[in-house]
Amino acid sequence: MALALVAALLPAPAAAIEDTWPALRSELFGDRFLAVSDEVISIDTPYRTYDDARTGVTVRLAAPEGHAFRELHLILDENPMPVSAQLSFTRPQTAFEFAATMRFNGPTPVHAVAELDNGQLFVAETFVKTSGQGACSAPPGTDPDEALATLGQMELVIRPRTRAASLVKAYRAGPPAGLALDVKISHPSHSGMQRDQISLLYIPMRYVETLDIDLNGAPFATMTGSISLSENPQVTVSVPAGTRRVRARLTDTDGTASEVERDLADY
């Protein structure tokens, strides 16, 4: 249901932007209470995008004592598909970081909503200004034949987690123990709003539908994507210290599936 929400394709005026979130909130979460706490959830985005078609968004979570998170929703209110990424955890996580390269169709509020194991929702919000390029309808940056030749290929990069300028309070003493896993995906992420530059026909919608991540042979998390993911997106998730093997499985909306696995000998 969430991913079926499609907003108007043209940028909305400021007054409409202010009114979008209440309708989205009602559609997605009904009348459930959304708590606000920068000790629990925060969003990192640039004040203004350098490249509307590829801008990083980071969400950080730190659960209240005795609780853990089971889901995360990233919402770009004014994008054609507002619910831009959803993450569900096989086992609830007490602290977590998620980042992805997104395309912004225009200036928009950005909301992150996380659900605890007891059903309580927490929300953080920010606003991102853009250049007005309309990234969801911008022509693909990769030659179509080259994109198809490498579609679905993935690279796994593991690295220590680093501090950032903006963190929820629980992280300010230093990064939580653990690692960061970058999943670099080769995929054109067609929005359905782009035209072939030769035929001028619309390119059919095709994007990363799910990304499943396993750690040490067991399911860890699943991300559900959308057309808001950038071309050749990078998805980053925090993983626990002691992780020895990582596997990522991708399925796109055309049914193409691929898988990559890596042993972490150095960690």
Query: By CB neighbour count within 10 A (0-12 exposed, 13-18 middle, 19+ buried), where does 8 fall?
Result: exposed
Q: How far apart are CA 258 and CA 164, in angstroms?
A: 32
**pLDDT at position 87, please?**
98
Q: Which domain holds residue 103?
A: 2-6+13-22+34-263
Q: How far apart are CA 225 and CA 110, in angstroms?
A: 16
**pLDDT at position 264, please?**
82
Residue 166 placed within a domain = yes
Residue 163 placed within a domain = yes
Residue 29 placed within a domain = no
The residue assigned the tokens 């970058």 is: 182
Q: How far apart are CA 158 and CA 262, in angstroms?
A: 9
Cβ atoms of 12 and 93 within 8 Å: the answer is no
Domain count, the chain: 1
Cβ atoms of 234 and 57 within 8 Å: the answer is no
CATH number of 63's domain: 2.60.40.2470
**pLDDT at position 79, please?**
95
Cβ atoms of 99 and 55 within 8 Å: the answer is no
Q: Is the pTM for the entire model greater than 0.85?
A: yes
**pLDDT at position 149, please?**
82
Can you give the pLDDT of all 267 residues of the chain as single tens digits?
444 443 333 344 444 455 799 999 999 999 999 999 999 999 999 999 999 999 999 999 999 999 999 999 999 999 999 999 999 999 999 999 999 999 999 999 999 999 999 999 999 999 999 987 767 877 777 776 777 788 999 999 998 876 554 445 545 444 456 889 999 999 999 887 777 777 778 888 999 999 999 999 999 999 999 999 999 999 999 999 889 999 999 999 999 999 999 998 765
Residue 232 placed within a domain = yes
